[in-house]
Structure 1
Amino acid sequence: MVTVRQRKKQKSGSSASARSKKAEQKRIKRAPTMHGPAAIKDNWDPKKTVRENYKALGLIGDLSMRDSGGSEKTYSQPAIAKPKAGKSNKPSLISSGTATIERDEEGNIISIQENTVQQVQTAWGPAFDSDAEEEEEIEQDEDTQPKSAKAIEVISALEHAAQQATPVERFTSTREQDWLHQMVKKYDDDFDAMSRDRLINVWQKTPGEIRKAIKKAGGLEAVKQS
């Protein structure tokens, strides 16, 4: 027997699956909530990407040297001249540590010239001598780009917030206090043995982490008396 709710659903214009699809599309299109400092949240544009927002605010979204997604630099590829007939088969670009051999028509070696200057040709153009030059070039490009008034205001607010920030005080929980008490009671001040104990050290803490936790808890004597 068909219930009243099922009869109404059959008469409705859209099915439950269509309504759920529309709701899913709305959730997908909705921009995620921005979590961060107030200076960034107030100037955040949900219609822009993370990289575009950071660039507008004078910040760097990724510290990676090799950007991707349209922000990487494009270099024009130089034309490589083809060797002409009757000419020497000496390549135009030679890497250092190799030598050029010149031969006569009969194939006998006439001279050997060692190459000392590195000139490497890649599919994307001349290769960089080192990553330091590429990093220096990127830093120069960032310094030459003028920052907007909004970017200067955001950077000033972030620097002021960083100066006013205070370290968060760490508290030892009751369970951690019991765990440290068992460690100290069994091994005293042998932190290496504590880290190797699989039964008590269930979180696989390193000797340095255990030493730091005991220090925060008040020291060995305080942990023993707890």
Structure 2
Amino acid sequence: MTSVRNRRKQKSSLPRQTRRLNDKRKKVRILSNAIIAAQWDEKLTLSQNYKNLGLTARLSRPSGGTQKELGKVTQSSAQQQQQQQLQSSAVKEAKIVRNPQTGEFERLEYVSTESVLDAPVTPSVTAATDVVKQLEQYAARGERTRERSQSEREQYWIEELIEVYGDDYERMARDRKRNIWQQSAGDIRRRVLKWKKQNK
């Protein structure tokens, strides 16, 4: 006989905690593109992999999976000249200008006794990686994917509609008995034309 505590544990609706977390983690498998699949590192997160490949995982702000890089910001020659001008002139105020839509930092407006100087901060554009170049070459080829072929059941259904209605697609669309998926007249017409092209 089991003890009262063990019986309570068996009846409990709460899930028991286990340490087998790796079984629950899903591995990302790239099946759509062979170029990306060859360069994919399973030890990194999706965002880190995309960053290494020179791609973006999200068009908006990244939500996670990346580490903040702490380092010196490289300045352009124009920004260095503006800094030298600021150091030489008597600066009294500096105003932060933010993007009204996203709220991100755009530039600093320095107000001096002589003039107002704008110092826009522009992110450095990274050069295209080898993966990006390969993907661009692949896209430039213009290869089309294989067109969907009609199944035997679909061909039988189209033959049945043609036998009854001929080329009257409006009546085919209204037939509740044969058109059980409620396809529109235009959709049936496209399917019939494709069937006629295949069965010439």
TM-score by length of 1: 0.46
Aligned to 2:63: 69
Q: Quick one: distance in 2 between partners of 1:186 and 1:70?
A: 59
Question: What is the Cα deviation at residue 156 of structure 1?
Answer: 2.2
Aligned to 1:180: 158
Distance 2:164 2:146 in 1: 31
Q: Which of the pair is proportionally richer in helix?
A: 1
Give 1:40 deviation, angstroms. 0.6
Question: 1:157 pairs with 122, 129, 134, which one?
Answer: 134
Q: Which amino acid aligns with 2:155?
A: Q
Structure 2 match to 1:127: 100
The residue identity in structure 2 corresponding to 1:190 is D
How much does 1:219 deviate?
A: 5.2
- Structure 1 pair 183/44, CA: closer, same or farther in 2 (3 Å)? same
State how 1:1-226 maps to structure 2 within 5 Å. Answer: 21=18, 24-29=20-25, 31-62=27-58, 66-67=60-61, 69=63, 127-128=100-101, 144-147=124-127, 151=129, 153-162=130-139, 163=141, 165-218=143-196
Tell me which amino acid in the other structure corresponds to 2:196: G
Preserved contact between residue 170 and residue 216 of structure 1 (Cα < 8 Å): no
CA separation of 1:51 and 1:200: change in aligned 2, threshold 3 A: farther
User: Would you say the 8 A contact 1:44–1:53 is kept in 2?
Assistant: yes
Q: 1:206 to 1:51 in 2, by over 3 A?
A: farther
RMSD over aligned Cα atoms: 3.6
Distance 1:61 1:200, change over 3 A: farther
Distance across 2 between alignment mates of 1:210 and 1:50: 42
Superimposed CA distance per residue, residues 56-81 of structure 1 (whole angstroms, 9 cap, x where no aligned partner): 3222334x5x435159xxxxxxxxxx
Structure 2: which 5+ runs fail to align? 1-15, 66-97, 102-121
Indicate the percent of aligned positions where both proteins have the same amino acid. 29
Q: Which amino acid is 2:51 matched to?
A: K
Runs of 4+ in structure 1 displaced over 6 angstroms? Answer: none
SS in 1 for 2:149: coil
Answer whether contact 1:171 1:216 (CA < 8 A) is retained.
no
From the CA coordinates, give the structure whose radius of gyration is larger. Answer: 1
Deviation for aligned residue 1:168: 0.9
Shift of 1:200: 1.5
The alignment partner of 1:25 has SS state of: coil
TM-score by length of 2: 0.51
Higher relative contact order (CA 8 A, sep 6+): 1
Letter matched to residue 160 of structure 1: Q
Paired with 1:159 and 1:42, the residues of 2 have a C-alpha distance of 16
